Copies of this chain bind each other. A is one copy, B any other.
Amino acid sequence: MQLHSMWEHYPELKTDLADVLQTIEENIQIRDKRVEENIKALIHAGGKLLRPAFALLSANLGPDYDRDRAISVAAALEVLHMATLIHDDVVDESSIRRGKPTINSKYGNHYAVYTGDYLFTICFKILSKHSDSISNIEFSSKNIEKILMGELDQMRTRYDLNVSVKAYLARISGKTAQLFALSCYSGAVSSKAPRALAIKAWNIGHYLGMAFQIIDDVLDYTSTDDGLGKPVLNDVLQGVYSLPLIYAMRGHKQDFEPLLGKKAEMTDADLRELTTLINRYQGTAQAFELAGKYTKKAQKEIAKLPEGAYRDQLSALTNEILTRQI
């Protein structure tokens, strides 16, 4: 079980995360061993496991910590995340994910659609083992509605040079922050945290998720190699304009029109020119600044939590997200 090296600094979390992967593995038993192997390969493809990590840490917030329950909730969230990734890859026609060929590119859309569906049900199966988690299930469908809406918003504003910062934030709030918020919230609920505290956990997760996605979008423009495990600037070719570009275009739209007008036909030289323009107009710097603001908001909420080792870890992990290079 190979976990991301970042977890070396969190030995307890590392043990728990290994058990999260173990729980997922145990629940994925398919007669067709090829499908099973594909899913298991994805589990071990080195996802950072941030969502389960935040769920596990938040499971210390309530009075009734139960390790099995916390691990189940964390596992269900990672499986839900995997299901949405697989379906996103179908929709975006992506061929690479975490440095490996996607299921849709390797086996076709049919395989990928049904595998995602299967993982959705595994998510609920894992949750259903703990009847206390019923409120989580009730919650998840409202939640997935918002994730769905975030993805659809993203589709609707494709190739739109006038996409606003506000629209971008609404989009990533659904697409990413929602699942981070649900992770922190569900972890808290799994330990029977009082409602006010669970809502605090929700807000922390929301801020974290916003910061995480903005940094992800900044790295899309700044990373020069394939360290991200996905094709650099894939989003912009697909017409999905993220924060650094949106900021850079403010007041300079005419500079970008000739390049972006080429849509999916942009060459590597075009993409380099685009990156140069974004840097010239401080697009990445401004985006990074906003990510910092969200991180600060998260830290401010974390500081209000009851003292404890988990609070320190939550805080350390939050900083790590802002400073991550991959």
Q: Show the binding face of A for B, using Cβ within 8 Å.
A: 30-32, 35, 83-84, 87, 90-91, 108-111, 113-118, 120-122, 124-125, 128-129, 131, 134, 137-138, 140-141, 144-145, 148-149, 151-152, 155
Contact = CB atoms under 8 A, between A and B. Distances in A.
A90 B109 contact: yes
Q: Give the copy number.
A: 2
A157 to B, nearest CB: 13
B116 A138 contact: no
Contacts of A35: 148-149, 152
29 contacts: A30-B149, A35-B148, A35-B152, A84-B117, A87-B117, A90-B109, A91-B109, A110-B151, A110-B152, A113-B113, A114-B151, A117-B120, A117-B144, A117-B148, A118-B141, A118-B145, A120-B120, A120-B121, A121-B141, A124-B141, A125-B137, A125-B138, A125-B141, A128-B137, A128-B138, A129-B138, A131-B131, A131-B134, A134-B134
A124 B140 contact: yes
B90 A152 contact: no
Contacts of A138: 125, 128-129
Nearest to A93: B109
A108 B155 contact: yes
Nearest to A135: B128
A128 B132 CA distance: 11
Contacts of A141: 118, 121-122, 124-125
A156 to B, nearest CB: 9
The 7 closest A-B pairs by CB, nearest first: A125-B141, A121-B141, A91-B110, A128-B137, A121-B144, A114-B148, A124-B124
Nearest to A110: B91
Contacts of A31: 145, 149
Nearest to A130: B134
Contact of A91 (B114, B129, B131, B152): B114
Contacts of A140: 121, 124-125
A69 to B, nearest CB: 15
A146 B312 CA distance: 45
A84 to B, nearest CB: 8
A319 B122 CA distance: 36
Nearest to A158: B110
